[in-house]
Amino acid sequence: MSKCSGCSAFDCNCSIIIAEGSCLTVTGSGASGDPFILTTTARIDDLATFALSGGLTAPTLGKLRFRFPFDATLEGVSAAVDTAPTGANIILDVNKNGVSIFPISTKPTITATTFDTGGSEDVPDTTGILSGDYLQVDIDQVGSTIPGSDLTVFIRYSRAVVCPVI
């Protein structure tokens, strides 16, 4: 039996980064009653997608809602419409448990005569999500001449998953 690098004795509690967001962890001494345990942590990226068909109206509050069944980290928000707004921009807000995740940053905006948020994501000020938290999308403003229609909002998030290695 030999010790791994970073351990001061035969007890081991080491982590090895395998890839960005993924980690392999070894714990235990290997002695009787304290076996080595190997686990891996992986980062999973996913999207929560909200869709609202038809013409948009403002304000529209809390119609689009998603409850997280796990802890997560919000990475970015983008949006698109099938009919572009004219006369004014579409301005959206995303709330976590009823409070905006964009209290400081610019809210996601679809500029008048365009169909999406410019191909980029708006990064929220609030990023931490706990299991049971919910997100809702509000429409704060729509186009003044043509409001826009058929809205889809994409909220990109990541979460860590720990799996035992057998």
The contacts of residue 110 (CB under 8 Å, 6+ apart) are 79, 80, 81, 84, 85, 89, 90, 92, 116, 117, 148
Residue 12, number of CB atoms within 10 A of its CB: 19
Note the pLDDT of residue 163.
Answer: 64
The confidence score (pLDDT) of residue 24 equals 56
Low-confidence residues of the chain: pLDDT under 70: 1-41, 162-166
Q: 45-159 architecture in CATH? A: Sandwich (2.60)
Instruction: Report the predicted TM-score, pTM, of the whole model to 2 decimal places.
Output: 0.75
pLDDT score of 143: 97
* Cβ-based neighbours of 119, under 8 Å, separated by 6 or more: 78
Peptide bond into 69 cis (omega under 30): no
Q: Report the candidate in 87, 112, 105, 101 with the shortest Cα–Cα distance to residue 138.
A: 101
> What DSSP character marks residue 130?
-
The domain ranges of the chain are 45-159
